[in-house]
Amino acid sequence: MTSGVLLVDKPQGVTSHDVVARARRILGTRKVGHAGTLDPMATGLLLLGVDSATRLLTYLVGLDKEYTATIRLGVATDTDDADGTPISEADASGVTDAAVAAGIAALTGELEQVPSSYSAIKVDGRRAYDLARAGEEVTLAARRVVIRSFELLATRRAGTAVELDVRVECSSGTYIRSLARDLGAGLGVGGHLTALRRTRVGPFRIDDAVTLPDPRHDPDAAAALDADAVLRDPADVASALFPVVRLDADATRDLAHGKRVELDAPDAETAAALTPEGRLAALVALRGGRARVLLGLPTSEVLP
């Protein structure tokens, strides 16, 4: 087993923690974490860090995301998605295509978005969804998000309901459930999310993800996954996110010991420092030709 980043296609009906547990059993290591959760009803791309590559997760959490989703107009729920209880219903058959387009346009760009009261945000040390399920009133502060693209893909009308298939590109921290709620509210008929699939996180896409079998029900799960083939090398992951600087052997050893080294490279808040063999030695801050370690990889992984 080597360290790396695993791109997983999360199935519907399981939690992100369930996926982490599967990876731990299959890969034979307890050191697995994820870079941003998906709700149980959602499917799609989940980034897992394995062994020392878990240190990179901090730099993956804040990446932009892309989703496809289905929004149902005419019914609002307490959770803003299909797992919740309906709290209002209205006839949405009169909502015009032009009104939908205007509503989507109003929710594109920089927004002050109020997260769902059933989100995982902590309030006084407790998860908002725990408070909401206990019957307590939850009021969350609005947060600034950026909706870079909110595209209508298809519209379906059936009786009093209208379903919209959409694609959303957004900043980290955006709640697509809240977009569905706010679109329905703006149209005066209410709305909630019925399907959600994450298709991209930063430069990483769902097409390159694998599906993890459940080792509790599949005794051959570990053998079915070739870790060496599916784990992304930390150097490749970091190089996709940051400018790259090449180290010689002396600089590699100095950085491994936490020393500042001189490098002929332009200033950068974060850069990927690679060893002569192409391994990721560290993430560094570059200023005035000197590199300061932000995150280092274990010495055994970076020294020749």
| 2.30.130.10, 3.40.50.1950, 1.10.10.1100, 3.30.70.20: CATH of 234-302 | 2.30.130.10
Q: What is the mean pLDDT of residues 14-23?
A: 92
pLDDT at 299 over 70: no
First vs last Cα of the chain: how many Å apart? 18
pLDDT, one tens digit per residue, over 137-185 is 667 778 999 999 999 999 999 899 999 999 999 999 999 999 999 999 9
pLDDT-derived band at 265 (thresholds 50, 70, 90) equals very high
Rounded to the nearest 10°, the torsion over CA 254, 256, 261, 264 is 110
According to DSSP, the residues that pair with 200 across neighbouring strands are 66, 205
* pLDDT tens column, 181-220: 999 999 999 999 999 999 999 999 999 999 988 777 666 6
What are the boundaries of each domain within the chain? 4-62+205-230, 65-201, 234-302
What one-letter code names the amino acid at 69? Answer: A
1: pLDDT strictly greater than 60:
no
- Chain segment 66-121, per-residue pLDDT in tens: 999 999 999 999 889 998 899 999 999 999 999 999 999 999 999 999 887 766 66
**Residues with catalytic function:** 39
77 within 8 A of 86, measured Cβ to Cβ: yes
- Under CATH, what is the fold of the domain 65-201? Pseudouridine synthase (3.30.2350)
Query: Identical fold at 4-62+205-230 and 234-302?
Result: no
pLDDT at residue number 139: 73
Q: What is the CATH number of domain 4-62+205-230?
A: 3.30.2350.10
Cα gap 215→21, rounded to integer Å:
10
Say yes or no to pLDDT of 136 above 60: yes
For residue 279, what pLDDT is reported? 93
The mean pLDDT value of the chain amounts to 90
